[in-house]
């Protein structure tokens, strides 16, 4: 059987993590191609519904990445995000979803190497979990 390739949705903030990804690209750093990026203006823009919806649509894992605390382009959008996702993470674990299905990271515009490493880690941990079925819509396969 071929190796399971996870499908990961990453919500990256425009100013830090997206730029970090860009830097990783221009620096020709290698990281797994399993991540599908959605650029948002700020990690504070990411509603928990985005995460749940991605999982419902069959994502094997979701990553939200923003600026380090204190670096937010909008002063403190990431601080709100941190609170929100702390609660969401606890809830997901509580109902029996593997913690690694939903991950959060801070990656700044200068951290191309960290970005590549985060994607590497996220991909490997989600790959280890196998396909995400619990929160995915059903009834489409024969």
Partner 1 sequence: MSDIEGNIQAKVKKLLEDGMIKYFIGYESGSDPLHTTPCFIKKAEDVDKIVWNPFCVNNLVGYLTDDKKREIKKDEEKKTKSIGILVKGCDSKSLVQLLSEHKIEKNEVVIFGVSCNGVINPKKLEKLLNGKSIPLDSLTLQSDGKNYIVTSDKKKYSFPKDKIEMDKCRDCTQPNTLIYDEFFGEKIKTDAKKDYTAVEEIEALPLEKRWEFWSDQFAKCIRCSACRNVCPVCYCKECAVDSADLVITPQTTSVEKANKMPWLEKNVELAENIFFHLTRMMHIAGRCINCGECERACPMNIRLSLLTKKLEKEVKGMFDYEAGIDVEAKPLLSIFEEGDPGEFIK
Partner 2 sequence: MSSSNKFKKEDFVIKKKDVSQFLKGLSDYTIYAPHNEDDTILFKAIVNPDEITLQFTNSVKPPKHIVLPQTETMLKITRDKEKGYKIDEPELKEKNILFGIRPCDAKGIAILDKVFSEDYEDPYYTKRRKNTILIGFACIDPHRNCFCTSVGGSPDSTDGLDMLWTDIGDRYYVSVLTKKGMELIKKSDTFSKVTSKNTKVKDQVHKTANDKISEKFNADALPKKLGNMFEDKYWDNMSMKCLGCGSCTYLCPTCYCFDINDIEYRDKAKRVRTWDSCQFSSYTIHTSGHNPRPNKENRMRNRIYHKYKYHYDNYNVLGCVGCGRCITYCPVDMNIKATIKELTKR
- For the record, the structure tokens of 41 come out as 């203006």
- Is the CB of residue 46 less than 8 Å from the CB of residue 64? yes
Of 69, 66, 73, nearest to 105 by C-alpha is: 66
Closer CB to partner 2, 70 or 139, in the complex: 139
Residues that bind partner 1 (CB under 8 A): 48-49, 52-53, 56, 69, 76, 79-80, 82-99, 103-106, 118, 121-122, 134-139
CB of 7 to partner 1, least distance (A): 16
Which of positions 57-116 make contact with partner 2 (CB under 8 A)?
A: 57-58
CB of 138 to partner 2, least distance (A): 9
3 belongs to the binding site for partner 2 (CB under 8 A): no
- Is the CB of residue 51 less than 8 Å from the CB of residue 103? no
* b/e burial code for range 5-43 (CB count within 10 A of at least 16 → b): ebbbbbbbbbbbbbbbbebbeeeebebbebbebeebebb
CB of 119 to partner 2, least distance (A): 22
CB atoms within 10 A of CB 123: 21
CB of 54 to partner 2, least distance (A): 13
Residues in contact with partner 2 by CB under 8 A are: 57-58, 137, 139-140, 142
């Amino acid at each position: 059987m071929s190796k399971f390739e996870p499908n990961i949705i990453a919500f990256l903030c425009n100013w830090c993590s997206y730029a970090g990804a860009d830097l990783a690209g221009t620096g020709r750093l290698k990281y797994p191609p399993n991540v599908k990026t959605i650029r948002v203006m700020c990690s504070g823009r990411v509603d928990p519904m985005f995460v749940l919806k991605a999982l419902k649509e069959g994502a094997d894992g979701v990553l939200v990445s923003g600026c380090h605390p204190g670096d937010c382009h909008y002063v403190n959008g990431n601080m709100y995000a941190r609170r929100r996702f702390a609660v969401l993470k606890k809830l997901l674990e509580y109902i029996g979803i593997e913690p690694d299905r939903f991950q959060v990271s801070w990656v700044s515009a200068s951290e191309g190497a960290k970005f590549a490493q985060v994607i590497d880690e996220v991909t490997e941990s989600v790959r280890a979990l196998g396909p995400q079925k619990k929160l995915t819509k059903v009834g489409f396969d024969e």
